[in-house]
Amino acid sequence: MGAEFPGIVRLRCSVKRYEWGKVGEESGVARLYANNSGEDIDGDEPFAEFWMGTHESGPSYAAVGANGQLRNGGVEREGGRKRNYLNLVSLKDWIEQNPSVLGDKVFQKWGPNLPFLFKVLSVAKALSIQAHPDKNLASILHKQQPEVYKDGNHKPEMALALTEFEALCSFVGLEEFKTVLQNVPEITEVVGDASANQVLHISKEDGEKKRKEVLQSLFTKLMSAGKAVISDVVVKLISRLNIKHEVRGLTEKENLVLRLEKQYPGDVGVIAAFLLNYVKLNSGEALSLGANEPHAYIHGECVECMATSDNVVRAGLTPKKLDVPTLCSMLTYKQGFPEILRGVPSNPYTVKYMPPFDEFEVDQCILPQGTSTVFPGIPGPSVFVVVKGRGAMQVAMASSEEIIAEGDVLFAPANYEITVKTTAGLSLYRAGINSRFFK
């Protein structure tokens, strides 16, 4: 099983500079990455995602001492920013060499790998309309197109808002769907009167299976329409909304559609947005997304956690590769507004968010000036990220403590009780295995 390593391990993490990310100092991801890595921020470059985990698309690295052993800390500070990691070894390799850090039950379930991927996102413009495949479909897609679908795992995920956070998620309810078709004639122009009338005349008495078949048929026709058709219809849609705006105030969804069109002119996702729920999260609220659920993040910053996967099937609002047939065939076509998670307090400073997935849960910990809290020892690993402030972290029975500040990411092995304290205020988040898994 390899030698056990007691204590906290600092991680050097990866960044993704996707074009939808916030630019320069406006990006919370940029600030975290700069403090974590010691690199300067390019003021003209977008910083989209800060990755913490073992996925090969954005691996984390652990600090190693001169003798090859992992060390607490392992960095030197210069002007408050960490500049020099002593040596680095990939977290994935180290866990494979020392699987006992995962705890027995986690190792037995998922093998020598961290089963969750932890991220921070800074979203300036909409991400693609997308869904993540279940395990069976992920395995098939990975075998067929390994260059596109990077692994064979599923990717349930949860987004926990750091700021006000906007998203599209799941299909609107049946009655709202009918209202959309009555008020947005451009959709009927694309899919045809027959498809629109099928939806308008369906009722709850027709049964869930029938309703899903009708919805899938209409959505597939819309998303599969030719680019020229969609481009012409989007021009009509935007013109109509602008004229309407001179007479009355637009709805939230109509204003959103105008924003999306400026970001992705002529894109089918501009029209498809009418069919999805528009969700606004306040800081501290979370959205849980299972396999095969359509969604698109629109704007804001969040902490995100998911099963260790990078599989995304896209169908709109993106310059990246689309796979419309796969997306339209895989969706659950569940309707209704998604549940908003507000977490359950563990103590006066910590709130726990437990989505219905074994691989992960997230704790939000906000410590006011001069306070401390304890994270009890748990039978699985944890990853901590400090998003604001400064403080100290200490493993029970350890003789020394780790000074922690914005941008620090730390790995804690299973079964270690950890105390966190601050004199000036501190905000951090912890990702770990879902507590339900151990019960």
Q: What is the pLDDT of residue 64?
A: 62
254 is in an annotated binding site: no
Q: Please name which of 300, 309, 271, 21 lies closest in space to residue 167, comparing C-alpha atoms.
A: 300
Token couple for 365: 């910990």
The dihedral built from the CA positions of residue 279, 284, 289 and 290, taken in this order, carries a sign that is negative
Rounded average pLDDT over 206-228: 93
Is the pLDDT confidence value at 82 over 90?
no
d(CA 18, CA 343): 30
202: pLDDT strictly greater than 70: yes
Segment 195-204 mean pLDDT: 90
In this prediction, residues 42-70 reach a mean pLDDT of 81
Determine how β-strand 165-171 pairs with β-strand 295-307: antiparallel
- Under the banding of pLDDT at 50, 70 and 90, the label for residue 68 is very low
Q: Is 267 helix (H, G, I), strand (E, B) or coil?
A: coil
Q: What is the pLDDT of residue 419?
A: 96
The pLDDT value recorded for residue 190 is 97
Which bin fits 425, alpha (ψ -120 to 50), beta or left (φ > 0)? left
Give the residue among 394, 393, 386 at the shortest CA–CA distance from 426: 386
Compute the C-alpha angle 108/109/112, nearest 5°.
65
- Interatomic CA distance for residues 128 and 178, integer angstroms: 25
- Cα end-to-end span (Å), the chain: 24
Catalytic residue among 12, 71, 314, 430: 314
240 is catalytic: no
Instruction: Return the structure tokens found at 223.
Output: 């998303």
Paired residues of 329 in beta bridges: none
214-243 average pLDDT score: 96
Helix (H, G, I), strand (E, B) or coil at 365: strand
Question: In the prediction, which pLDDT does 85 show?
Answer: 54
The pLDDT of residue 72 is 42
174-182, long-range: CB < 8 A, 24+ apart? 174/202, 174/204, 174/211, 174/335, 177/215, 177/275, 177/335, 180/274, 180/275
Helix (H, G, I), strand (E, B) or coil at 175: helix
Rounded Cα distance between 295 and 126, Å, is: 11
Residue 150 clears pLDDT 90, i.e. is over it = no
Q: Please give the biggest Cα pair distance in the chain.
A: 73
Q: What is the mean pLDDT of residues 84-92?
A: 79
What does the block give as tokens for 74? 């392992």
DSSP string over 176-233: HHHHHHHH-HHHHHHH-HHHHHHHHT--GGG-HHHHHHHHHHHHHHHHHS-HHHHHHH
What confidence score (pLDDT) does residue 3 get? 41
- 416: nearest Cα among 19, 71, 4: 4
pLDDT of 69 higher than 50: no
130 is in an annotated binding site: yes
**3-state SS, residue 12:** strand
276-296: average pLDDT:
96
Q: Residue 65's pLDDT is what?
A: 54
Beta bridge partners of 411: 9, 383
Predicted pLDDT of residue 259: 97
Q: What percent of the chain has pLDDT over 90?
A: 76
